[in-house]
């Protein structure tokens, strides 16, 4: 994984960032557009191209049956009306599609723990609490069929949370959609590490 090539920088960043949680990553704001960088707005505009390219690479490497087994989760056009997020604890499972070069084009990880906090002004808090790569930030209203995640990536055994905009390679933007009765996903287009698109499945823990 690319980020392992510079552990000292990661450790230093973790030590410097004392605040923790979604409010540390993205302070309260009325909407995501006023906070998102131009770079991230560009990544979001290109979400579908990155997703389709990632799927093509994964299928070409023989992962077609695994992709088909995931059903709506990996279909870029499967988002349903009314996102209807529910605060609470979730099982979250990450699938990485495609590779910018030299890495596996399809990787599916087991479920870890995530939490969606109660909405304030329609904005939800989100954090992945276990695993070596942990998105943390806020989920903003956007349209009837989607919301937008904006946050940062926490790595390894870091305790603190980087503030969005501090390190472009750790900034994250993603599409939040509902793909089932109580099944959601966050798709991260063109992440800076390892893949072309990351998809996190969210299902309630209980």
* CA–CA dist 189, 173 (Å, integer): 8
pLDDT digits (tens, 9 = 90+) for 108-165: 999 999 999 999 989 999 999 999 999 999 999 999 899 999 999 999 988 889 999 9
pTM for the whole thing?
Answer: 0.89
The pLDDT, as a whole number, for residue 3 is 38
pLDDT digits (tens, 9 = 90+) for 129-138: 999 999 999 9
Q: Phi first, then psi: what are they for 109, rounded to 5°? A: -100, 155
CA of 96: how far to CAs of 37, 49, 126, in Å?
A: 23, 15, 20
Q: How confident is the model at residue 101 (pLDDT cuts 50, 70, 90)?
A: confident
The pLDDT, as a whole number, for residue 1 is 38
* CA–CA dist 79, 97 (Å, integer): 18
Query: Residue 18: is its pLDDT beyond 70?
Result: no
The pLDDT, as a whole number, for residue 44 is 98
Q: Which two tokens stand for residue 59?
A: 């299928």
Hey, how many other C-beta atoms are within 10 angstroms of the C-beta on 13?
A: 18
Q: Which two tokens stand for residue 51?
A: 């997703």
Domain boundaries, the chain: 20-204
Q: Which two tokens stand for residue 88?
A: 């609470």
Q: Average pLDDT, stretch 50-64?
A: 98
Q: Average pLDDT, stretch 63-87?
A: 96
The pLDDT, as a whole number, for residue 206 is 82
Mean pLDDT of the chain: 90
Q: Which residues pair with 117 in a beta bridge?
A: 125
pLDDT digits (tens, 9 = 90+) for 89-100: 999 999 999 999
Q: Which two tokens stand for residue 163?
A: 């503030």
Name the percent of the chain in helix, strand, coil, to the closest 5.
Answer: 25, 35, 40
Please indicate whether residue 11 or residue 67 has the higher confidence score (pLDDT).
67
């Amino acid at each position: 994984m690319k980020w392992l090539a510079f552990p000292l920088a990661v450790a230093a960043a973790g030590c410097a960032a004392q605040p923790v949680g979604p409010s540390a990553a993205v302070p309260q704001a009325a909407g995501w557009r006023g906070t998102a960088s131009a770079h991230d707005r560009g990544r979001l505009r290109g979400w579908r191209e990155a997703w389709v390219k990632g799927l093509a690479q994964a299928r070409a490497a023989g992962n077609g049956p695994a992709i088909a087994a995931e059903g709506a989760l990996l279909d870029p056009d499967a988002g349903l009306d009314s996102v209807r997020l529910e605060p609470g604890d979730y099982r979250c499972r990450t699938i990485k599609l495609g590779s910018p070069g030299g890495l596996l084009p399809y990787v599916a990880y087991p479920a870890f723990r995530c939490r969606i906090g109660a909405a304030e002004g329609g904005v939800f808090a989100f954090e992945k609490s276990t695993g070596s790569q942990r998105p943390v930030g806020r989920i903003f209203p956007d349209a009837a069929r989607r919301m937008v995640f904006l946050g940062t990536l926490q790595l390894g055994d870091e305790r603190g949370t980087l503030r969005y905009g501090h390190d472009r390679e750790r900034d994250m933007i993603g599409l939040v959609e509902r793909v089932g009765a109580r099944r959601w996903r966050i798709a991260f287009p063109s992440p800076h590490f390892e893949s072309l698109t990351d998809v996190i499945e969210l299902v309630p823990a209980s």
